[in-house]
Amino acid sequence: MVTYIKSAKDPREYPAAKFLEIVFVGRSNVGKSSLINALFKTKVAKTSSTPGKTHLLNFFSWSDVDAYLVDVPGYGFARRPKTEREGWREMMEVFLQAQNRGQRLALLLIDVIREWQAEEEMLVDYLSWVHIPYVLVVTKIDRCRKDTLRKRMHFWQNCSFSSHPPLDLFFVSARTLEGCSTVYKYLITYARKIKYVQET
Ligand SMILES: Nc1nc2c(ncn2[C@@H]2O[C@H](COP(=O)(O)OP(=O)(O)OP(=O)(O)O)[C@@H](O)[C@H]2O)c(=O)[nH]1
Ligand SMILES: [Mg+2]
């Protein structure tokens, strides 16, 4: 079961336990909050068609496997003031570098019709620098016609993704739920493995 715990900005506001943290990152409006809801068949995460809905680090507890889900604000929303964008960067860097936390896994979301851009490259470099592995989740696949989707899947499957490739690659739609059970199963296996290692 997934339940909302709290929203945080500073480290002293983070929840204390050292659980695995599954962090949903990606461009604003890519569907991070929607994916949490789709994976766990709930409405705990707030979504919006207006980019910039998520402002803080939102922690959810996934009690079945002792893990946290962390829904974070998106990047790349140019219409926000510069100070706010810098605030986002600082909040994310402090969070991703925080010591004495559980292990982290990032889910990097990218819209099926977008390209791999400098922001993704920078984020992946950063994740690698702080030793956080990531999986790539291509979102909103319901928005493509079948032939286009086939081409886009081929594109993502053959993308060279800088020097830090993802652990795995998934295609999902939070609207039709296509691909969501595969991601869910991946996460549950990953989280159980971490829990097993921690307990032994
Ligand atoms: N068609 C389609 N729309 C989607 C899908 N996932 C999300 N959306 C829509 O995309 C918009 C943004 O979704 P959010 O989940 O709020 O995106 P976010 O990445 O959390 O955005 P920020 O919090 O601003 O960073 C909403 O209007 C969603 O309904 C999807 O799989 N298919
Ligand atoms: Mg959001």
Q: What pLDDT score was predicted for residue 83?
A: 79
Distance CA 76, CA 27 (A): 6
Question: How far is ligand 2, taken at its centre, from the CA of residue 167, in Å?
Answer: 23
Tokens 């990097």 correspond to 108
| DSSP string computed for 184-200 | HHHHHHHHHHHHHHHH-
115 vs 88: which has the higher pLDDT:
115
**Ligand 1: which residue has its CA nearest to atom 16?**
47
* Token pair listed for 142: 């319901």
* Token pair listed for 118: 């400098």
Q: Is 127 exposed, middle or buried (0-12, 13-18, 19+ CB in 10 A)?
A: buried
Q: What pLDDT score was predicted for residue 87?
A: 81
Domain boundaries, the chain: 2-199
Distance CA 36, CA 18 (A): 21
Q: Is 96 helix (H, G, I), strand (E, B) or coil?
A: helix
Distance CA 181, CA 174 (A): 11
The ligand 1 atom at the shortest distance from the C-alpha of residue 37 is: 15
pLDDT at 122 over 70: yes
Q: Are the beta carbons of 77 and 51 closer than 8 angstroms?
A: yes
pLDDT single digits (tens) 43-85: 999 888 877 777 899 999 999 999 999 999 888 765 667 777 7
Q: Are the beta carbons of 136 and 108 closer than 8 angstroms?
A: yes
85 vs 8: which has the higher pLDDT:
8
The ligand 1 atom at the shortest distance from the C-alpha of residue 28 is: 25
Whether ligand 1 lies within 6 angstroms of the CB of 179 is answered as no
| Rounded average pLDDT over 76-104 | 83
pLDDT single digits (tens) 162-186: 678 999 999 999 999 999 999 999 9
* Token pair listed for 158: 């053959």
The conformational region for residue 33 under phi > 0 = left, psi -120 to 50 = alpha, else beta, is alpha
Which numbered ligand comes closest to the C-alpha of 110? 1
Q: Which of 47, 49, 140 to mutate to test the pocket of ligand 1 (most atoms within 8 A of CB)?
A: 47
CATH number assigned to the domain covering 2-199? 3.40.50.300
pTM: 0.95
Q: What pLDDT score was predicted for residue 77?
A: 67
Q: Which of 48, 108, 139 to mutate to test the pocket of ligand 1 (most atoms within 8 A of CB)?
A: 48
Q: How far is CA 127 from the centre of its chain?
A: 12
The ligand 1 atom at the shortest distance from the C-alpha of residue 46 is: 16
